[in-house]
Structure 1
Amino acid sequence: MSQLFSPRPIGPLTLKNRVAIAPMCQYSAVEGLPQPWHVQHLGRLAISGAGLVIVEATGVEAAGRITPGDTGLWNDAQEAAFGDILKGIRTYSDTPIGVQLAHAGRKASTAVPWKGGRALTEAEGAWETFAPSAVAFQDDWHTPTEMTEADMDRVVAAFEDAARRADRAGFDLVELHAAHGYLLCEFLSPISNLRTDQYGGSAENRARFPLRVARALRDAWPKTKALGVRFNGSDWVEGGVALDEVTDFGRALHDMGYDYLHLTSGGNVARADIPGAEPGYQVPFAEAMKAAAPQANVMAVGMIFDPQQAEDIVASGQADLVAIARAALDDPQWPHHAAVTLGRGEGLPPQYERAGKAFWPGYGRAR
C-alpha cells in the first residue's frame, strides 16, 4: 500500500492522495487578470492526478504584486476571470483547486524573471513598496516605505476581501503566503524587521502582524473550506529566523484553525547559501514542525522529484503531504507516473488512457 497515494483529510477537505502541486508564479497576468496561459496551465495540472493544485501567489492589492505579471484578487474582473477558469475545470476535473494569497512587501515592483527580475524603473511603471522596515532587499532595489498602523489595517482588509473573492470565485482552498521574503515573512525575520515598536524585536512581536493577518483570514474564509499557510523554516543566514520561532509560529496557526502547515525556506536574503541542489533539502523543516505539532497536517516541499523519495517522506512520518513544483512543470503527468511507479493505478482521464501503461506498448520505453 502506497502512503503517498492514500487519502488525507485536511480540515473539511479530503484529498485523494498526498501529492500537491505547489504555487508557481507564471508572471503572465495583465493587470492582475489571468490569461489564456493560465487556462491551459491550470487545466493540465487539474488532470495531473495530484490530490491538490494551488494557484500561484496572487496579490491581495496592486502594491502587493511581485511583478506587473502577477495575478490578483482585488477587483471584480479578477474574481470573475478566476471564476470562469474554475467553472471550465469543473467540466472535466474534480481535483481541488486552491489559491495562494500574497503580498510581496519589499520584493514588489520588479520585472518578470525573463526580463531580469530587477527593480522596475519609474518609466517601467514602478510603484511604492511597503515593508516592516525601510530596508531594501538589495542595494539596487527600491527602499520600501516602513508600514504604519494605517498601512497594516489596509493590508489586513485586503486579505479579508481577497478571501471573500476567492470563495465566490469557487476556490476550494486558500493558502496564506508567509514565506520567501515577502511581506509576512519580512515581519517574522529579524533580518528584515528592524522595528522597535510592538511589531519588532522579540519573536512574539515579530509574529504579531502575521498572526493578525492569519486571524483575519481565518475569520473571512469559510470553515467549510480548507485553509493552509506557507512559511519559512530558515533564512539560510546567521541571525535569521530560528527554528524554535518557526515551530512556535506554526503551532499558533494550527491552534488558530489552519488545516495544514507548508514548510519552505529562503528568499528573504539576496545572497544566502541555500543547498537547493540537494534532494529534499527542506524536508527537515517539515519534520521539525511535525514533531512540534503532531496533530497538524504538515506539507514538505523542495527538490522532491522522485516517486520513491516522496513515498518515503510520507511513510516515515516526516510530513503528511508533499508538494511538487518544478517537477510538475517538467512533467505535468508526474502524479500519474508516480502512481504507476509505486504500483498504483494510473487514474488517467479516459481521453488519455490509451497512452497509459496498460494500453500503450511504448509506455515503458518512453519512461
Structure 2
Amino acid sequence: MSRLGSPYELKSLSLRNRIVMSPMCQYSVDAEDGAPNDWHFVHYVSRAVGGTGLVIIEMTDVDPDGRIRNRDLGLWSDEQIPAFKRIIDELHKHGAKVAIQIAHAGRKALDAEPPVGPWNEPFEPTAKTPRALTTEEAWKIVGQFADAARRAVEAGVDTIELHGAHGYLIHQFHSPGINKRDDEFGRDYAKFGVEVVRAVKKVLPPDMPLLMRVSAVEYADYGYDLEHGLRVFEAYRDAGVDLFDVSTGGEGPAGARKPGNYPGYQVPYARAIREKLGVPVMAVGLLDDPKLAESVVANGDADLVAIGRGMLRNPYWAIDALRELDGPNHRAPIAEAYLRGY
C-alpha cells in the first residue's frame, strides 16, 4: 500500500491520507465583503468528495487592507464566520479535515491605499510604495492575527496555517533585505512572526496543531539563504509552530538565483528543514505526478504533500492518485453516489 494513502496524525489532527489541497486564492467577484460564497463552497467541497485528506482554505486576511486583491477572503469580522462554517461543516461530512490560511499581504496588498509593511520600499519598481508601520501598528496586527484565528476556530477548523511565505507580511518582517527597521521588530527579524505565533497559540484549543507556510530561500539579489531561514524557523518552532509548509521565494523579482520549474524542485528544502529542526513538514511545488508525490513521503523528504494546480485541474486528484498507486486495493474514499464510475 502507498505511503501517500496512509493515515497521518499530528496532535489532534487526524488525516485519512497524506494528500493536502494547497491554499490557492480564487479572487471570486462576489467576495468583496471577505466572506466565501457559493463558488468557494463548490470549489472546496468537491475536493473533499475527491478524497483529499486536508483542505487548506485559501489566504484569508486579518484586515480589509491586508488582502492582495479586494476579492480575497477575510476573517476580520465575526459576521464572516457563518459563511466559512457552512463550507467547513460540509467538508467534514465528506471526510476531509480543514485548515484556513491566515495572512496579511503587507506591501503586496495591491488594492490598499497605501499598502503597509515593515519598510517603505515596494516589492517591485512598478508597485505602490508602502507606508512603514509604526511599532504600535505592528503590535495591533499581531492582535488581528489572533482575532482571525479565533474566528477560524469558531467556524470549525481542525488546524490553522499562518502564511509566512511568498513575500507577505510575516515574511517581510523576517527578511533582512525588506525589513530595515531599527525598533524591536527590526533588531530581531523573527520577532514579529514569533509574536504572531504566540498570540495565535493562545486562542487555539490546547491540542490543535499550528502550521506555517514559509519560503525557505529568497530569489531576489538581496534575498536570504537557507541558513538564515533555518534560524528564523527555529524561533517559530520554539514559539509553537508544529509543522512547516515549505515553499520558496515570492518576495520580489528574481535576481541571479532563479526558482526551479521542474517537478519537485522545492523538496530538498522541505527535507532540510525536517532534518535540521526535527519537525514535520509539508512539501509543495509541481508534485502532480502521483509516483513523485509517493516518493516524497516514502523517502522521508516530507510528511505530507500539497497539490495546487493539479487539484485545480482535477478535483478528484487524490482518488485518481491512490487508485494509480495501489490498484484494486486502494484506500481512496469514493463517495457511494460515484461508485458506479469506478
- Normalised to the residue count of structure 2, the TM-score between the two structures is 0.94
> Contact 2:219 / 2:254 at 8 angstroms: preserved in 1?
no
Q: Which residue number corresponds to residue 60 of structure 1?
A: 62
* Count of aligned residue pairs for this structure pair: 336
Q: Which residue number corresponds to residue 261 of structure 2?
A: 277
Q: How does 1:133-152 map onto structure 2 within 5 Å? A: 133-152=119-138
Q: 1:11 to 1:255 in 2, by over 3 A?
A: farther
Please list the CA deviations of residues 245-283 of structure 1 after superposition, one character each: whole Å capped at 9, or x if unmatched: 212222333333322111101110134454342111111
Segments of 5+ residues of structure 2 without an aligned counterpart are none
Please list the CA deviations of residues 179-208 of structure 1 after superposition, one character each: whole Å capped at 9, or x if unmatched: 00000111111221122333236xxx1111
Q: Which residue number corresponds to residue 178 of structure 2?
A: 192
Does 264-273 or 134-143 show the bigger shift?
Answer: 264-273
Q: Quick one: percent identity of the two aligned structures? A: 40
Q: Which residue number corresponds to residue 50 of structure 1?
A: 52
Give the CA deviation at 1:353: 1.2
Structure 1 residue 12 corresponds to structure 2 residue 4: no
Structure 1 residue 239 corresponds to structure 2 residue 228: no
Give secondary structure in 1 for the equivalent of 2:315: coil
Please list the CA deviations of residues 301-348 of structure 1 after superposition, one character each: whole Å capped at 9, or x if unmatched: 011111110111111111111111011001111110110111123321
> Contact 2:193 / 2:236 at 8 angstroms: preserved in 1?
no
RMSD over aligned Cα atoms: 1.5
Does 2-11 or 57-66 show the bigger shift?
Answer: 2-11
Rounded to whole Å, the distance in 2 between the matches of 1:65 and 1:318 is 33
Segments of 5+ residues of structure 1 without an aligned counterpart are 111-125, 357-367
Of 68, 76, 79 in structure 1, the residue corresponding to residue 78 of structure 2 is 76
Structure 1 residue 221 corresponds to structure 2 residue 207: no
Structure 1 residue 160 corresponds to structure 2 residue 128: no
Letter in 2 for 1:252: A
Rounded to whole Å, the distance in 1 between the matches of 2:150 and 2:50 is 28
Rounded to whole Å, the distance in 2 between the matches of 1:312 and 1:230 is 21
Give secondary structure in 1 for the equivalent of 2:331: coil
Letter in 2 for 1:137: F
> Contact 1:59 / 1:73 at 8 angstroms: preserved in 2?
yes
Rounded to whole Å, the distance in 2 between the matches of 1:191 and 1:326 is 30
Q: Which residue number corresponds to residue 282 of structure 2?
A: 299
Q: After TM superposition, which residue ranges in structure 1, 4 or more long, deviate above 6 angstroms?
A: none
> Contact 2:61 / 2:75 at 8 angstroms: preserved in 1?
yes
- Normalised to the residue count of structure 1, the TM-score between the two structures is 0.88
Q: How does 1:282-361 map onto structure 2 within 5 Å? A: 282-294=266-278, 296-343=279-326, 344-356=330-342
Structure 1 residue 250 corresponds to structure 2 residue 233: yes
Q: Which residue number corresponds to residue 25 of structure 1?
A: 25
Rounded to whole Å, the distance in 1 between the matches of 2:307 and 2:19 is 7
> Contact 1:266 / 1:274 at 8 angstroms: preserved in 2?
no
